[in-house]
Structure 1
Amino acid sequence: MPVSDLPRLQALAQQLAAAGADQDWERLAQLDRLTQQWAQQPPAALPGDAAVLAAWQQIARAHAQARAACQLALAETGERLRDLQNQNEAHKAYAWQEQFS
């Protein structure tokens, strides 16, 4: 998709924002692959059309927000897994103690 295709750029930005808000990780992964190179492209490399530049900036913001949502979910999942592991270890210790009491 050319970076100057305004309607498609706007649609992509909306899809990114929606997938991030819905925590639809599979869809976000697909959209991430589509936008990763664009998010790294400097705005100066875009055509001079202000609407296209605004759409690109909207995509960059939505992409950054989606990545932040992924990082937050990853951190929360990791914390939950650590909690479950700690609980499991505590249950094992309690069961072991009960066995010898």
Structure 2
Amino acid sequence: MGGNLDLLADSGADVIGLDWTVDIESARETLGDQPVQGNLDPALLYGNPETVRERTRAIIDAAGDTGHILNLGHGIDRNTPVENVAAFFETVKETAADTA
């Protein structure tokens, strides 16, 4: 998808979905203020809570202040450790509270 971002920027879509293979900083350069959603690699949820927190914060920072719906670049597998999913949601809530 990364190579098609310039086409998507002109598509008239309300939001552009980014999977985990797309560098969000590069996407932001191409898309400008176009709202985006995604981009956490779901495989990271098999790691540990601290890695999940670090990567989640990095994505939020890279996405900037313009419209970003943070979620996974794909779905959650049912075998994903619950504590890692909790770390993802807690980090999102904490970061949102810090910027409000």
Q: Give the TM interval when normalised to the shorter protein.
A: 0.3 to 0.5
Q: TM-score, normalised by structure 2?
A: 0.37
Bigger relative contact order, structure 1 or 2 (CA pairs below 8 A, ≥6 apart): 1
Q: Which has more strand, going by share of residues?
A: 2
Scaled by the length of structure 1, the TM-score of the pair is 0.37
